[in-house]
Amino acid sequence: MAAAAGRLRQAGIEAPQREARLLMSLASGLTTSQLILRGHLAAPDDLRESFERMVRQREACVPFQHIAGTASFFGLDFISDARALVPRADSEVVVEAALRLLPEAPGLEIADLGTGSGCLLIALLVTRPDVSGTGVEADVAAASLAAENIARHALESRARLAVQPWAEWSGWGSVDLLISNPPYIRSEVIASLDPEVRLHDPEVALDGGADGLDAYRELAGLAQTRLKPGTPVIFEIGYDQQGDVRAILSAAGLTDIGSAKDLGGNDRVVWARKQVG
């Protein structure tokens, strides 16, 4: 573990000692306490081989969640691999905002546009067992991952997938809340992102166009023309995009615009509502 931490440090991995310990726990199936108690024992050959394989992957900046095959989000475990963005804690504030705006009534319908791994949709459905929803995802590979996560959480009876672009989806007028984490990175910035993101997250889920705002313009226009009056929309945003996204939503005629920060103090979510009347 000490040698692995040194290698991870050289590879530029943050908190290399913690990562080495997590990789050993993953390889061995032992908790941190158990590793401490057995620290004087020689590692079996098969464990050494498994641990070495994981360390090499992490040195290459493969996300830990991809090595483990799972990611934690909103207290739930999700299958995680290169088919979609890794579920990240910053996005949990988006779910919290949606739960505040979702009416307290049974039988409601929600939609998650660009659902990716399905983490936003699934977190909402698990928290609100009286609600059903649709994940709209144009990428076939990402949709297959969302389907696996829906099955993992036994939500097949309440969660549907529409494998198509959101502009072609016919269900806009039937939903009571819309949520999305669209691509919002400026095209020119993608080449400078951390290797974990740049090399292992799908570019289609990152690239938001020249100014990072293409998806918001499209979604705002579709929301205004297709949603039922009064329907709330909740969007994840980049840390520096609150003002721009607010302006886009306002220009589209949406009302009751608000925002919230993530645990790191960065702007992370903007919401609005299709006006009534």
Q: What is the reported pLDDT for 265?
A: 96
Q: Do 32 and 113 fall within a single domain?
A: no
Does 236 appear as a known binding residue? no
What's the average model confidence in pLDDT over 233-252? Answer: 98
Does 149 appear as a known binding residue? no
Does 127 appear as a known binding residue? no
Q: Do 253 and 222 fall within a single domain?
A: yes
Q: Do 8 and 141 fall within a single domain?
A: no
Does 216 appear as a known binding residue? no
What's the average model confidence in pLDDT over 124-138? Answer: 98
Tokens of 42: 């020689």
Mean pLDDT of the chain: 97
Q: Do 37 and 99 fall within a single domain?
A: no
Q: Do 46 and 111 fall within a single domain?
A: no
Does 183 appear as a known binding residue? yes
Q: Do 29 and 156 fall within a single domain?
A: no
Indicate whether 39 pLDDT > 90.
no
Total domain count, the chain: 2
In a domain, 72, yes or no: no
The model's pLDDT over 49-87, given as tens digits with 9 standing for 90+, comes to 999 999 999 999 999 999 999 999 999 999 999 999 999
Residue 144 maps to which CATH number? 3.40.50.150
Q: Angle at the Cα of 135 (from 129 to 137), degrees rounded to 5?
A: 165
Q: Do 207 and 155 fall within a single domain?
A: yes
Q: Do 15 and 122 fall within a single domain?
A: no
Residue 14 belongs to what domain range?
Answer: 2-60
Does 116 appear as a known binding residue? yes
In a domain, 68, yes or no: no
Q: What is the reported pLDDT for 40?
A: 87
Q: Do 48 and 137 fall within a single domain?
A: no
Q: What is the reported pLDDT for 242?
A: 98
Does 70 appear as a known binding residue? no
Does 182 appear as a known binding residue? yes
Confidence at 112, pLDDT banded by 50, 70, 90: very high
What's the average model confidence in pLDDT over 16-34? Answer: 95
Indicate whether 277 pLDDT > 90.
no
Q: Do 153 and 264 fall within a single domain?
A: yes
What's the average model confidence in pLDDT over 137-150? Answer: 98
In a domain, 70, yes or no: no
Q: What is the reported pLDDT for 272?
A: 98
Q: Do 55 and 92 fall within a single domain?
A: no
Does 169 appear as a known binding residue? no
Indicate whether 47 pLDDT > 90.
yes
In a domain, 67, yes or no: no
In a domain, 234, yes or no: yes
Q: Do 157 and 243 fall within a single domain?
A: yes
